[in-house]
Amino acid sequence: MLDPYKIRQDFPILKRKINNHPLIYFDNAATTQKPKQVIEAIKEFYENHNANVHRAIHTLSQESSELYENAHEEVAKFINADGMKEVIFVRGTTEAINLVAYAWGLRNLESEDEVLVTLMEHHSNIVPWEMLSKIKGFKVKYAEVNDDGTLNYESLENAISHNTKIVCLSHVSNVTGVITDVKRVAKIAHEYGALVLVDGAQSVPHLPVDVKDLDIDFFAFSGHKMLGPTGIGALYGKRGILEGMEPFHGGGSMIKEVTFNTMTRECAISLNDLPWKFEAGTPNICGGIGLMAAVRYLNDIGMENVKEHEEILTEYTIRRMHECEKVKIYGPEDASLKCGILPFGVEGLSSHDVALFLDSYGIMIRSGFHCAQPLHEKFRLKSSARASFYIYNTREEIDRLIEALKEIER
């Protein structure tokens, strides 16, 4: 078991007070706080190694390049990919999904094809496919979600066909925290010859992930949801698929050479090797180094311990919320089926009213659609309040949340 009280000492922001109350941060599904180890890694880079990568032979550039490449390797090991050639650094999950949509989908999807997504998706795994469908003319189909927020596997199996070219789904719902059996979905999809793209934004920070065991083709996640800085994330892709794809962006770094034939007046472009052919321009170097520090921090704790800690907190919160008369929990209440995400509502109040009231007690939660409006429509909800937990949260903080909710009821 991890020790949240010891872990809290690594997070400077948790010493803050909000409205004269100790800060309680329950908005971890939106972004996590940063430990001093990550902050210091970024500071160390800028103070001692700052230079552009893969540009020069001088000492600083060589040091910077080595750190940046090491970051790719450590992220690859974290999800059990076959080295850094299968890990592309991007700004986050949204850009990773767009990369697949436009670098793969734009060249491989035709009007008779279908893309299958689920109704539990974050908008970033819906909007790119709908936008691209307007260009290419293919159909976007939606697998149903059960009333408790879990994926309806029968609906997915009925929706998939030999016209389906890619199945796109979340590993963990950012609204309910439900964990989807993506290994099962991948097996079904591959039987029809379809690829599988998984949104791992809410799974990589909270449970062990092995992309080989899951047998998925693409896997997208964000650094800022797993203790890293904002503006950095990663796309995993099977090497054979990535090698057959054209770049998403063009410019510096993603090419080996650009030559111009003065006789034919033609320009010839030779693409760089993986993963650099997908990382055009000056990358977020310090972001990658910060993400590496975050990966090391989580490895030291152990992802099984992270999952167990969140499960205990979620189970405890659900039990205590049942003491409230006007609080309703949305989605499944079996903590073993989900990560530490708990959507709820208070009778007679909007989610924003609830969030503002809790803020007055120094308790930070999310309110609104959580960038997943179709799932809220499925639940017939205008919005929801969402508490989400992480490694530094404690039972005492949950007790304060319940006290505040009871005060709202009064």
Catalytic residues: 371
Q: What's the DSSP call for residue 218?
A: E
Q: What's the DSSP call for residue 27?
A: B
Q: In 10 A of CB 239, how many CB atoms?
A: 14
Q: What is the 3-state secondary structure (H, E, C) of 125-190?
A: HCHHHHHHHHHHCCEEEEECECCCCCECHHHHHHHCCCCEEEEEEECECCCCCEECCHHHHHHHHH
Q: In 10 A of CB 370, how many CB atoms?
A: 25
**CA–CA distance, 152 with 180 (Å, rounded to integer):** 10
Where do the DSSP E strands lie in 262-304?
266-271
> Which token pair is 315?
């189970």
Where do the DSSP E strands lie in 340-383?
341-346, 363-364, 366-368
Q: Quick check: 25 and 364 in contact, CB under 8 A?
A: yes
